[in-house]
Structure 1
Amino acid sequence: MKKSELHLSLDDYIESHITPEHPYLHALWRATHLHLNYPRMASGHVQGQVLRMLVQMIRPRLVLEIGTFTGYSALAMASALEPGAMLHTFEINDEQEDFTRPWIENSPWADRVTLHIGDVMQILSPLPREGENLALLDSGVQPLPSQTGVGEPFDLVFIDADKRHYVDYYEAVFPHVRPGGYILADNTLWGDQVITPPRPLERGLGGEVDNAKSSQLRGIMAFNDVVAADPRVETVILPLRDGLTLLRKNP
């Protein structure tokens, strides 16, 4: 049996032996595959169930998702939020809004999810200047700009956006995560390509350029190296789909 066939067989077996997919999420999954390019970017049943269970275990009050796509992962997590908890999800691609917003706003969990269209990096404030927000500095948490309406600190962050900027997202969001809070990052094994060297830079008219797939892989590998060496967190990588990294910020 080929490796790809084995993976498909295992996927089918796993899906048939876990909690059934919620009908609304299944409908979203089908619509994603029918109407959008790159539907595999959506989390899907197995990963959605893992995210849901992690939310049940962590019991966060405030969740941040970086990279919404169709909203599958956001809704899977929101389905497990306790009353009063909130999830804010940011999608940088405004062309995605027409598909995603109705699915979120018509979902059974619409009161727990807010979709923001724009670059999350624009609302993750820089570190305070010396003498500012000393109480928050002492707690290990930095404030977000008040006009965002997001609030903070975050108990859980899920990063699933442009892989080239994973390190930037991580460093920007880290001060806004409460001590003992969690950061999840998707696609951190990039299939199994993290154990193979990225393709060399290609030479073009303007000099050396990185091809798209290699630049994404370089971003993932840089992120993996950064968090592995970061004494501020405890880290584990799960070989789920393309890899899911779980980080806990030290108390």
Structure 2
Amino acid sequence: MHFLPENLDKYVVDHSEQEPKLLQQLTRETYQKVLQPIMLSGPYQGRVLSMISKLIRPKSILELGTFTGYATLCLAEGIQENGTLHTIDVNEELVDFQRTYFDKSEYGKQIIQHTGSALDIIPQLDETFDLVFIDADKPNYSNYFHLIIDKLNKGGVILSDNVLWHGKVVEPLDEKDKSTKAVLDYNTLLKNDKRIETVLLPIRDGLTISRKI
């Protein structure tokens, strides 16, 4: 979703770094072969993720919600040489697609795929993280935060996607809409938790940056 006028949004994209050719190929194949390609992060947000990762230079990254691996590769662009990126997704049908593109990149050996429920997998990860990207099922965003926060290193960053949820966060709430309610609760959680400092950016469908104090 774009909150800027179309001409201004185009100006922003045109004056930002362009995506690598490998990610262009990944995008084309996702649209050709995978259901719901709109779930891709997209080139502009991908460059934002890449820039944040490059600024942090994380040794360890955790991603919740791999899809076809676009954001994974963007985050990997900032990882340290001996670093690792753990990415979790429930859809086992996309594992081979993801691995094909991971191995085409220079980060293939650093990316570890996990298939299954992140609620089950996160507690099994005997590792702490410098950077976490949450882009998974919205009803569990708060649950993911509670599982992750103690595994986040001091000064570590959590990036949370879709936190404006198509603009529904400022519309009257339908009590049957569990996803919107979950996003509202999650945004409040991030704002009030004293262990982190948070800023919400109106990038695409909303991206929150939370830093552990």
For normalisation by structure 2, the TM-score amounts to 0.93
The structural deviation recorded for 1:181 is 0.8
The structural deviation recorded for 1:9 is 2.9
How many residue pairs were aligned?
213
Residue 191 (structure 1) aligns with: 166
- Ranges in structure 2 where 5+ consecutive residues have no aligned partner: none
The structural deviation recorded for 1:241 is 0.5
1:154-233 pair list within 5 angstroms: 154-201=129-176, 214-233=177-196
Q: What percent of counterpart residues are identical?
A: 38
Contact kept in structure 2, 1:164 and 1:215, CA below 8 Å: yes
Question: What whole-Å deviation, never above 9, does each CA across 1:164-199 have from its counterpart, x for those lacking one?
Answer: 100000001111111111111000011211001222
Secondary structure, in 3 states, of the residue corresponding to 2:203? coil
Aligned partners of 1:249 and 1:218: how far apart in 2?
25
Question: What whole-Å deviation, never above 9, does each CA across 1:107-136 have from its counterpart, x for those lacking one?
Answer: 2321221111112221333xxxxxxxxxxx
Aligned partners of 2:77 and 2:56: how far apart in 1?
14
Aligned partners of 1:35 and 1:53: how far apart in 2?
29
Residue 242 (structure 1) aligns with: 205
Aligned partners of 1:199 and 1:38: how far apart in 2?
24
The structural deviation recorded for 1:15 is 2.2
- Please state if 1:59 is matched with 2:57: yes
Aligned partners of 2:206 and 2:151: how far apart in 1?
24
The structural deviation recorded for 1:5 is 10
Q: Which has the larger radius of gyration?
A: 1
Task: Flag the structure with higher helix content.
Answer: 2
Quickly say closer, same or farther: Cα 1:230–1:58, change in 2 above 3 A.
same
1:43 corresponds to which of 13, 18, 41: 41
Aligned partners of 1:114 and 1:198: how far apart in 2?
38
Q: AA paired with 2:135?
A: D
Residue 10 (structure 1) aligns with: 8
For normalisation by structure 1, the TM-score amounts to 0.79
Aligned partners of 1:42 and 1:10: how far apart in 2?
22
1:121 corresponds to which of 91, 105, 119: 119
Contact kept in structure 2, 1:191 and 1:241, CA below 8 Å: no
Aligned partners of 1:11 and 1:247: how far apart in 2?
25
Higher relative contact order (CA 8 A, sep 6+): 2
